[in-house]
A = this chain, B = another copy of it.
Amino acid sequence: MKNIHADIITIGDELLYGQITDTNSQWISAELDKIGIRTKRKSSVSDKKEDIMEILAEAEKRSDIILITGGLGPTNDDITKKVLADYFKCELVLHEEALKDVTELFSRRGRELTELNRGQAFLPTACTYIPNRSGTAPGMWFEKNGKIFMSMPGVPYEMKDLMTQSVLPALKEYFKTPVIIHQLVKTTGIGESNLADLIKDWETQLPKVIKLAYLPSLGEVKLRLTASGENVDQLKIAINNELEKLRPIISDYIFGYTDESLEKILGDFLRSKKLTLATAESCTGGYLSHLFTSIPGSSDYFKGGIIAYHNEIKTNFLDVPEEDLLKYGAVSENAVTKMAEAVRLKMNTNIGVAVSGIAGPGGGTPEKPVGTVWMAYNDSRKTVTKKVILSTKREENIRMAAYSVLELIRKSI
Binding site for B on A (CB under 8 A): 15-23, 25-33, 38-46, 51, 55, 58, 213, 215, 279, 281, 284-290, 292-294, 296-299, 302-310, 312-313, 316-317, 346-348, 359-362, 394-395, 398
Contacts and interface: CB of A to CB of B under 8 A. Distances in A.
A285 B294 contact: yes
A6 to B, nearest CB: 9
Contacts of A288: 286
Contacts of A296: 360-362, 394
A18 B33 contact: yes
B302 A279 contact: no
B297 A286 contact: no
Nearest to A287: B290
Contacts of A348: 312
A119 to B, nearest CB: 19
Interface secondary structure of A, over-half rule: mixed
Contact of A286 (B16, B307, B308): B307
A303 B312 contact: yes
A307 B305 contact: yes
A98 to B, nearest CB: 26
A17 B41 contact: no
B294 A303 contact: no
Copies in the complex: 2
B45 A32 contact: no
B17 A30 contact: yes
Nearest to A309: B304
Contacts of A297: 362
A292 B287 CA distance: 11
B41 A51 contact: yes
A186 B21 CA distance: 20
A293 B279 CA distance: 16
A40 B29 contact: no
Given A40-B46, A288-B286, A19 B394 contact: no
A155 to B, nearest CB: 13
Contacts of A289: 285-286, 307
Contacts of A313: 303-304, 347
A245 B268 CA distance: 56
Contacts of A284: 290, 293
Contacts of A304: 306-310, 313, 317
A293 B310 CA distance: 11
B27 A18 contact: yes
Nearest to A310: B303
Contacts of A359: 293
A133 to B, nearest CB: 16
A211 to B, nearest CB: 11
Of the candidates A293, A303, A395, the one having the most CB atoms from chain B within 10 angstroms of its own CB is A293
Contact of A16 (B39, B306, B316): B39
Contacts of A20: 26
A309 B45 CA distance: 46
A359 B20 CA distance: 26
A7 to B, nearest CB: 10
27 contacts: A15-B29, A15-B42, A16-B29, A18-B28, A18-B33, A19-B215, A21-B23, A22-B26, A41-B43, A41-B51, A41-B55, A279-B286, A281-B286, A284-B290, A285-B292, A285-B298, A286-B289, A293-B309, A296-B361, A296-B394, A299-B309, A299-B310, A302-B309, A303-B310, A304-B310, A306-B307, A312-B347
Contacts of A16: 29, 38-42
Contacts of A398: 290, 293-294
A290 B317 CA distance: 19
Contacts of A305: 286, 306-307, 309
The 4 closest A-B pairs by CB, nearest first: A285-B293, A18-B30, A286-B289, A286-B286
